[in-house]
Each structure stands twice: as C-alpha cells, then as structure tokens.
Structure 1
Amino acid sequence: MDLQEKFDLLKKNLSALDSLCIAFSGGVDSTFLLKAAYDVLGDKVLAITARSSTYPEREYREAVEFTKKYGIPHEVILSEELDVDGFADNPVNRCYLCKNELFEKIDEIAKAKDISYIAEGSNMDDLGDYRPGLTAVSEHKVLSPLREAGLTKEEIRSLSKEMGLPTWNKPAFACLSSRFPYGQKITKEKLEMVDKAEQFLLDHGFRQVRVRHHGDIARIEVGQIEMENFLNLALMKEVQEYYKKLGFSYTALDLKGYRTGSMNETL
C-alpha cells in the first residue's frame, strides 16, 4: 500500500469505532492518532494523559495545549509508576508494569463513561525493538490503529506535516525511566536529575537529547548532526559544571550519538 492508502485504511478502521479513549502523551505518534481519530469521530474521542514523575512537565504542557487548540475532550490522570510494585527496581519488564497500570486506569475511565474502545499510538517501527509494554497492550485488548494500518514513524511524520500538526518534526521521546540501566534503582530524585540535565541541553538549542544515568556518571546522547555543536570547550565546561551541581561527578558524551533503546543493547 502507498501512504495515502494506509491513511485511508486508518480512517476507515477508526470510523468503525463508536467511541474511543486514546492514551495521549503528546508525542509524534499519539498526537497524529488523536487528530486523525478526532477528525473521524469528533467528540466521541477522549484523550487521556497520565502525569507522573517519569513524564516531564514540558511534555504535559504541550499535550494540554494541543487538545485545547483543537477542542478535543481531554482528561488528565495521575499515574505514579514508582508506586507500582517492582517498578522502582527497574526490571527488564519495567515498561510492562507501567503500561499495565496505565491501561487499568484508562479502562476504569472508559467503563465509567461507557466508551467502547481504548487505543494507543505504537507504530510498525516499534516491532523492531524490545518493547515489553506491547504485552500489556495485547493483554488489555487495546487497539493499535497505526500498526493496524501499517504506518511507520517516517510515514506518520509525513502525514502529520501534511495535516499541519506541530509534532511532525518533534524529536522522539520516551519516559524518563528509560534513562537508567536495567537493575539500577529509580527514584524521584534521580528522575529530576535527568529531567533537569536534558532540559539544560534543550535550552541550549539541542533537539534530540538523552541523558543516561549511570550512577555518578551522566552519559549524554545527542543526534549525529548535533554532535559537532557539542564539541565547544566553553559549552562543555558549562554543561559539566551544571551537571556537577545536579549530582553527577562525571559527564561523558556517547560517541555513537542518540539512538532509541540504547539501554536495551546490554540485553
């Protein structure tokens, strides 16, 4: 199928649903899915965003602004993953524990509001990495309309650009818990360190950023085309000094650069 055929299939599949809750993070995929669903189903769609210490404030604000702009029904819930049994120990199935709790809460809302279906925004590219959260998607019978239509990340970006969505070129994002090696304890304080460390680089003009937390070492990943910008003595000194204030004794730049799932490379 070409791109237009995939988009038509997506809309056809969505039109067959009488009401729908969408797990909405404000990222590229869930924003595209939400807008496509709202265009087809109107107010029969409810966006649900979960706030927690693993979810940066900037992402939450963007999600709220988007739904307000288009008048899309939106509900915000509290979903503190650190309170989920075993999550803070950061096991290899951490994402499953998170998604399982999220979909349990969304399912309660859907039942209370008599909404028939729940959907999430994974795409075809998500099948190529270790994604334990997809097990929770399957167990809770959550729909994955973008995968069902065969859409990849780049295709979603292309369609988002055509639709005029602000997220069409938004950098990929994953929850802050993904910044820790499996088995390393996750705490609210560590999450705040990572959040502030990444925000510092974003404020300095970097777009695709990850700061991986390795105990007293901060391992910085930036996009390949941005790595040269990082090699500035004044900037490196500024970053190192700020990170030291956050609690990192050492700061390192990953020479391989940003890539999704780098913490899965040790599995």
Structure 2
Amino acid sequence: MSDAAQMERVPAIDRPGDALAKALGNVLDRFPALAVAVSGGVDSMTLATFAHRRGMPVTVIHAVSPAVPAEATARVRRLAAVEGWDLLVTGTGEFDDPRYRDNPANRCYFCKTNLYDRIAGLTERPIASGANLDDLGDYRPGLIAAAERKVVHPMVEAGMTKRDVRALARSLGLTDIAEMPAQPCLASRVETGIAIDAGDLAFVEKVETRLAALAPGGTLRCRITHEGVVVELGEAEMAFSAAVEAIAARLCTEAGRVYAGTRAYRRGAMFVRT
C-alpha cells in the first residue's frame, strides 16, 4: 500500500469521537515500531491492521504449528497480501518441549514461552499481543509468560473489550474478521492431562472443518476427552445435532476412535485445574 493510501485511511480509523480508537492510537504512539504476534484471530489481526494503517513500522509475525489451523495461516497470508504487511511466518518449537506436550493446567505458559522466545530471536522490536480486557478474566498462564518477556498489550491498555475489538474491525472494513467466532488453538480441544499429539490435533481440525459446512460461523468444538471424542454445540447449532452426530460418529469410526456423543458448548471445557 502506498504512503498516500495509508494517509487517506488514517482518518477513518481515528475519527473524532471514537474514544477507543483514539486511546489505542495513543498507546501505539509510545512505540517507534512494533512486532505484532498474529494468530489469525480477530484481536491480533485487528491490532496489526490498525497499527500498520497508522503508518508506524510494524513487523507481523505468525507462528505455525500443529496447533494452528491451516485456515488461520491462510487467513493471515491473505490479509498480509491485501494490507502490504511485513510478514514473517515461523515455527514455534513448542512440540519439542515435553512440558507443553504433557498438557498440564498451565500448558499455555509453555506455549507462549516458546512463541515469544522465538519472536524475540527474530526482531529487536517490542512484541505486542492482541489481548483485550476480557482475556484478563480467565486463567491465562500465557499472560505470565508474556509479562516475563515484557510483551505489551495495547488493546488492554486502551481499555478495549472483545466487543470493542470487533467494532474496531468493522470500522476498518474487516467485516468478515469482525464476525468470526472465537478461534482458540487446536490444543485447547484436548482435556488437561491428555498428552498433546499432532495426530489428535489433525483429527480435531478435520472434524471441525467437516462440521463447519452445517453451520458456517457457528459454535462447534471437537473435544478429545478421557471418555472419547465429544462434539460441543452452541445453542443455535443444536438444531443440527442429528447431522453432527452422524458425521462425527462416522469420522471417529474411520479413525478408530471412540465417539462419546454431543453436548452443549462450554468455554474452557477441556481445562481441568488441579
């Protein structure tokens, strides 16, 4: 994108009266440059777009691993091409860390430790995440790893909730991204204490991709539990439960896995804190 095009777009994202956008801009103005860790979800992609369109030097870094859906990586690459990002795609190496693979309650700490250490080896710029205020209400051991490495959270500092982030994404013209459901990593589908296995994550991705055709944009989770494979459905998606049962049962049979049925979606259902 040309410098002129960037300048033309700035007023649309920092217009008078948009207090949150102004607050985010004020936070970003403290930094001469940033390295934004982009997962492919609405938060980090919105942050990277906002920062880049303001004209500040931004390196966008996306990590690939068996826990990252292929569609998330494709989404990042598409937006990077449209926006003209300086994009680096790297591996994180968390699967080489037995502490991560053991899937303890603080698994995310080891994931983010590997991620941020890898990013720090690629750039000297301050590292920024897309965390928002809503993320602070959960048990998020990854935030501990971030604090230890002085990762900054511009949206938290600007007082932005998830709803605010989606509103900002819409104002940026990122309509499809603004409406995306939550996109946690595939490892979040595995119950605490069950070892993280790349084959399990590939199976989860396959099931969720197949089921997504029944309810595009809906809430559907394939869970690996101690009882077997469980599919969780949002309230609206319960209308498709019979079709979900048939598809999930067939895929489990083909893969030699135990299918344990469907149930209502519950955020953080696989997390067992001991």
Q: TM-score, normalised by structure 2?
A: 0.88
Rounded Cα–Cα distance in structure 2 between residues aligned with 1:131 and 1:243: 31
In 1: Cα distance, 2:61 partner to 2:230 partner? 32
2:270 equivalent in structure 1: 263
Show CA shifts across 1:191-236 (max 9, x none): 1111111111113334222111014621111221111222x3x553
Question: Aligned residue for 1:81?
Answer: 94
Cα distance in structure 2, aligned partners of 1:186 and 1:142: 26
Aligned residue number for residue 249 of structure 1? 258
Number of the residue aligned with 2:111:
98
- Aligned with 2:146: secondary structure? helix
The 1:235/1:56 distance shift into structure 2, 3 A limit, reads closer
Contact 1:216 1:247 in 2 (8 A): no
2:221 partner SS: strand
Contact preservation (8 Å) 1:122, 1:147: yes
User: Which of 30, 46, 50 matches 1:32?
Assistant: 46
Give, in whole Å, the separation in 1 of the partners of 2:251 and 2:270.
24
CA distance in 1, matches of 2:273, 2:79: 37
CA–CA distance in 2 between the matches of 1:247 and 1:41? 52
Q: Which one of the candidate residues 158, 180, 184 is aligned to 1:174?
A: 184
How many residues align? The count is 256
Unaligned runs of 5+ in 2: 1-16
Q: CA deviation at 1:142?
A: 0.5
Q: Distance in 2 between matches of 1:47 and 1:149?
A: 20
Instruction: Assess if the C-alpha contact under 8 Å between 1:201 and 1:209 holds in 2.
Output: yes
Please give the alpha-carbon distance, in whole angstroms, between the structure 1 residues aligned to 2:97 and 2:232. Answer: 29
Alignment of 1:16 with 2:11, yes or no, is no
1:82 is displaced (CA, Å) by 1.4
Which residue identity is paired with 1:204?
Answer: L
1:135 alignment partner in structure 2:
144
- Structure 2 residue matching 1:262: 3-state secondary structure: coil
Q: Is the 8 A contact 1:14 1:40 kept in 2?
A: no
Percent identity at matched positions? 34
Q: Decide whether the 8 Å contact of 2:61 with 2:87 is kept in 1.
A: yes
Q: Which residue of 2 aligns with 1:147?
A: 156
Match of 2:13 in 1: none
- Name the amino acid aligned to 1:153: K
Would the aligned equivalents of 2:38 and 2:61 in 1 still touch at CA under 8 Å?
yes
The amino acid of 1:144's aligned partner reads H
Q: Secondary structure at the match of 2:194?
A: coil
Partners of 1:228 and 1:60 in 2: CA distance: 30
Matched, 1:63 2:52: no
Runs of 5+ unmatched residues, structure 1: none
